[in-house]
Amino acid sequence: MRLRRLALPLLLTAALTGCTDASPSSERTYSPPPGSTPWFVSGPPTSARPSHPASGVVPGAPMIQGMVTGTFLPFPQSSLAITYDPKVVPPGSTAQVVISRAPDGTRVRLSVTGMVPRRTYGAHLHRQPCTSVPEDAGPHYQHVPDPKAAASPPSVDPSYANPRNEVWLDFTADAMGAATVSTGEKWHFDKIEPPRSLIIHAKPTSTAPGKAGTAGPRVACLTLTTQ
Ligand SMILES: [Cu+2]
């Protein structure tokens, strides 16, 4: 009789202990191991991040069409719209790129504000996103890639480095430092590897053989991504 009275509380205690054990173990499943990065930090895995450690840039999806606007600031104040030369592209100046896709081709419009009044700049779409290092934006986006440039970059052959095979957006700022320029191409961007940045250069773009597509130092960069 005494044993039977004791058995019931013991069974209840065991059942309750089972419940309370289950709860912390399921919480442990979602807890990060000590010293590791918490699981709730968002962003792509480390392997998907750009190789340059100083960049801090985590690119979004590439932009086939759409609009991106950026205010140029020195890195790291901005990692998506960076001025590399504040004398040529003053901090606070802006750029907006609009890409529209039509059945017969692609239209790209660039509008800028806050540039040096009456100065002429080179501007192109480049293959890689912006980082703190201007050269990281890679070469110009080319519809038909220059086969020689794969072995010895950059592509300076006018039959590939031209405004029909690349997207050139050179502009001259007005008295207020503003400009708008448009260009149209008879092709569409590659869906997997579209251009990832707009680079503004210090000089107008050359068309001479051996120098075609060059436009002086890279002075600013705007990453083209759908946010
Ligand atoms: Cu360029």
Q: What is the pLDDT of residue 61?
A: 82
Question: pLDDT per residue over 188-202, tens digit each?
Answer: 999 999 999 999 999
Amino acid at 157: D
Nearest partner of 95 among 73, 126, 117, judged by Cα: 73
Task: Output phi, psi for 90, to 5 deg.
Answer: -65, 145
Average pLDDT along the chain: 81
Whether the per-residue pLDDT at 28 is higher than 70: the answer is no
CA 8 – ligand 1 centroid, Å: 81
The Å distance, Cα 186 to ligand 1 centre, comes to 20
The candidate with the shortest Cα–Cα distance to 157, out of 199, 215, 218, 207, is 207
Are the CB atoms for 168 and 185 separated by under 8 Å? no
Would you state the pLDDT for residue 62?
83
From CA 112, how far away is CA 24, in angstroms rounded? 56
Using the mean position of ligand 1's atoms as its centre, give its distance from the Cα of residue 104 in Å: 25
pLDDT > 70: percent of the chain: 74
pLDDT value for 38: 31
Q: How far is the CA of 208 from the centre of ligand 1 (A)?
A: 15
Which of the four pLDDT bands, split at 50, 70 and 90, describes residue 150? confident
Residue 60's pLDDT is what?
A: 75
**Nearest-angstrom CA–CA distance, 203 and 205:** 6
pLDDT, tens digit, 9 for 90 and up, residues 80-123: 999 999 999 999 999 999 999 999 999 999 999 999 999 999 99
Q: How far is the CA of 169 from the centre of ligand 1 (A)?
A: 9
Rounded to two decimals, the pTM is: 0.76
What would the pLDDT profile of 42-91 be if each residue is shown by its tens digit? 333 334 434 444 455 556 788 889 999 999 999 999 999 999 999 999 99
In sequence order, what are the residues at sequence separation of 6 or more whose Cβ sits closer than 8 angstroms to the Cβ of residue 30? Answer: 39
C-alpha of residue 170 to centroid of ligand 1, in Å = 10
CA of 15 to the centre of ligand 1 (A): 70
Cβ-contact 121, 115 below 8 angstroms: yes
Supply φ then ψ for residue 220, to 5 degrees: -160, 160
Domains (range + CATH), the chain: 62-226 (2.60.40.200)
Q: Residue 145 corresponds to which tokens in the numbers above?
A: 């890639």
State the distance from the centre of ligand 1 to the C-alpha of 161, rounded, in angstroms: 11
| Element spanning 150, H or E | helix 147-151
